[in-house]
Chains A and B, each alone.
Chain A
Amino acid sequence: MRRSLFAILPLLIYAVPALAQDPPPGIRLSTTYQTQNRPLLAVRPVEGAGPTGEVLDSITTIVQRDLLNSSRFNVIEGVPQSLRTGAVDYAQWNSLNVVYLVTGTVAPATDGYEISLTVHDVVYARVVHEGRYVLPVAESPAFRMAVHALSDQVVQSALNAPGSAATRIVTTRQHGDGNYDLLIVDSDGYGLRRIAGFGGLIYSPTWSPDGRRILYATGGDRWHLVEREVATGQQRTFDPGGDMIYTPAYAPNGTTIALGIWRENGAEVFQYDISRSGGLRKLTGNLSTVSMYPSYSPDGRRLAFMSDRIGRPAIYVMDEDGGGAAMLSPFIAGQSSDYAAPSWSPTGSRIVFHGVWNRQMRGSYQIMVADADRQGAQIEQITARGNNEDPSWAPDGRNIVYTSVGDGPGGLYIIDAESKNRRLLARGENLRMAEWSPLLLRASDLAARQ
């Protein structure tokens, strides 16, 4: 008797919290991995006579990892020795179930290398892309980004879909004293580095649509916005007024921004023109409530935002002029939900945010995806453990970066909204508030002169 009790107790302990996590109607838990449907891709080791073997290897490895990270392919790890050189034998590749094959040949060029890149459709035994591109020398800080642009070209050529390799993620790292540094990291986790901060409060960094500038809110004696040129470190500051400012977001035109501003007894979403430091216009208007976290749709006509106008933080969608606001996050009677930090997909109508349907579970936020064009439809919850916050879409509209603590090592993670595969991008429990850049470089920028 006693023995069986001991056996049951641990079961109960685990079962109770598991039941509490079951989402109510309106939210569908969807965290299972579905990777079997991805086409198989192989990157044949890049060949060439000029550059060192090390350089060739690094090009191959970067492209291979990028294509795996794109979440759109399964990638062959080791290419059989017999298939590493010579003319492409489609039948042999086909027998390995490979669908897409990438080959490349590198030759020295002025100030770098010229690479001839070919993407093959193995099943139809044809070339779907062939291009010649100029890469900077491997020692150049621009080298890896250039290779990433080639990876995105492969995705585009094979699947007619955008990639997200030639990108960076901006984030903040909080010190023990509560102050923040501003950091960026490449999409493959390489080169995490501090670009600003050195103490002080830094909140909600966001990329300009051209990827050249980062805008963030900072406090101290007076709250203001700082826009920083990533390449040069040059800064401009904006003071739209108000007691506090929060969560700036660029409109697609790169000059209009939306942000939260605290005035008197509450915070509302405002529009502001940074090109003339003026044109402040209020988009939401509910005295004594808090509205913030705006995020523009790719056409700039709509905004997602958070508001606690019904007494709890919820996600809404409205027109760019502030009209027609409608709730997007699930409304479940009797539940004190809490949703925040919406990010509008750059390729469509999906909106990702973090939240909990019961605020007693605050501190264990999960990542959820909704569709702005299907309001009232079921929301998809794509994480289930730990505390996950501040999601942001990659320019491919598929991968999502977010901060996570308590489900594996703490840090920045990337999850594929389709397969729910996730990977650790950068380790650090004190990394907070991540945002994914737009594409920073395209293969066409590297095209060799004919």
Chain B
Amino acid sequence: MDGERNETDNKVNAMKRNVWLVALVMVAATAACGKRQAPVQPEPQTPPPVQAPPPARPAPTPTNDGAAEREAERRRIISILEQTVHFDYDEATIRTDAQERLAAKVPLLRANPGIRIRLEGHADERGSVEYNLALGMRRANAVRQYLMEFGIDGSRFETFSYGEDRPSVQGATESAWSQNRRAEFRITTGI
């Protein structure tokens, strides 16, 4: 049931992204930017991998010379904003490497105030199932708090936790665990 809905959601979201792409081009052309653009879209439960660029789509206005550049810029923004940050064992403190990644997101969030993000916290497989749900939530909230300190409006972030149930790497090794202790970023609307 959920699987079906996700598929539908993915299609709907893909369509919506196209619509937003057109909207973005128009907005950029008139240099009218800054208004909150839409209600939050439902987020698919199994979105595409974090680092992968969105699938190539035919440009909506192939005659427009700037479209390719704008699409490239859009992809660059998505890839920076959706870059995952990692955490130490049993911790929700923002590490130095995570601080750098978050700092890179700040100017993009400022320049695109319509962007809203779902922050998904994750834990490694050690620890109690339900407590790990809380640990993931703590991590998502720590990221939100950190970005708010840069003046980003906290209401632009929705926080969620999958606990240990959505590992990015399978396996019971320190390397797998360190990859799985993370917060992921899903842009839900605004780009």
Provide the main secondary structure of the chain A interface: strand
Chain A residues with Cβ below 8 Å from B160 are 219, 244
Q: Is the CB of B131 within 8 A of A340?
A: yes
In the complex, residue of chain A having the shortest beta-carbon distance to the beta carbon of B165: A178
Contact with A220, one of B3, B45, B127, B131 (Cβ below 8 angstroms) = B45
Q: Is the CB of A221 within 8 A of B42?
A: yes
A262-B134 contact given A178-B162, A199-B2, CB 8 Å threshold = yes
B125 beta carbon closer than 8 Å to chain A: yes
Q: Is the CB of B130 within 8 A of A201?
A: no
A27 beta carbon closer than 8 Å to chain B: no
Cα A77 to Cα B5 with chains together (Å):
54
B182 beta carbon closer than 8 Å to chain A: no
Chain A residues with Cβ below 8 Å from B175 are none
A171: shortest Cβ distance to chain B, in Å?
Answer: 12
Q: Is the CB of B126 within 8 A of A220?
A: no
Cα A363 to Cα B164 with chains together (Å):
12
Q: Is the CB of A199 within 8 A of B1?
A: yes
B179 beta carbon closer than 8 Å to chain A: no
Q: Is the CB of A267 within 8 A of B165?
A: no
B46 beta carbon closer than 8 Å to chain A: yes
Q: Is the CB of A292 within 8 A of B134?
A: yes
What count of chain B residues pass the 8 Å CB interface test?
30
A358: shortest Cβ distance to chain B, in Å?
Answer: 12
- Residues 174-211 of chain A, each 1 if its beta carbon lies under 8 Å from chain B, else 0: 10011100000000000000000011110110000000
B138 beta carbon closer than 8 Å to chain A: yes
- Residues 104-138 of chain B, each 1 if its beta carbon lies under 8 Å from chain A, else 0: 00000000000000000000011111110111011
Cα A363 to Cα B172 with chains together (Å):
10
In the complex, residue of chain A having the shortest beta-carbon distance to the beta carbon of B3: A199
Chain B residues with Cβ below 8 Å from A354 are 128
A306: shortest Cβ distance to chain B, in Å?
Answer: 7
In the complex, residue of chain B having the shortest beta-carbon distance to the beta carbon of A223: B160
B189 beta carbon closer than 8 Å to chain A: no
Q: Is the CB of A338 within 8 A of B129?
A: no
Cα A394 to Cα B161 with chains together (Å):
31
Cα A433 to Cα B165 with chains together (Å):
13
A423 beta carbon closer than 8 Å to chain B: no
A244-B127 contact given A200-B2, A221-B43, CB 8 Å threshold = no
Cα A219 to Cα B129 with chains together (Å):
14
A201-B165 contact given A179-B2, A244-B133, A292-B134, CB 8 Å threshold = yes
Q: Is the CB of B134 within 8 A of A290?
A: yes
B157: shortest Cβ distance to chain A, in Å?
Answer: 11
Cα A210 to Cα B180 with chains together (Å):
40
Chain B residues with Cβ below 8 Å from A246 are 130, 133-134
Q: Is the CB of B90 within 8 A of A359?
A: yes
In the complex, residue of chain B having the shortest beta-carbon distance to the beta carbon of A290: B134
Chain A residues with Cβ below 8 Å from B42 are 221
Known contacts A199-B3, A292-B131, A340-B130, then 6 further A-B pairs from the complex at CB < 8 Å, ordered by chain A residue:
A219-B160, A220-B45, A244-B161, A290-B134, A341-B130, A354-B128
Instruction: List the interface of chain A (C-beta within 8 A of B).
Output: 174, 177-179, 198-201, 203-204, 219-221, 243-244, 246-247, 260, 262, 265-267, 290, 292-293, 306, 313, 338, 340-341, 354, 359, 362-363, 365, 389-390, 432-433
29 cross-chain CB contacts under 8 A: A174-B165, A178-B166, A179-B2, A198-B2, A199-B1, A200-B1, A201-B162, A201-B165, A203-B130, A203-B133, A220-B2, A243-B137, A244-B160, A244-B161, A246-B130, A246-B133, A246-B134, A265-B141, A267-B134, A267-B137, A290-B131, A290-B134, A292-B130, A293-B130, A306-B131, A338-B127, A362-B126, A363-B127, A432-B129
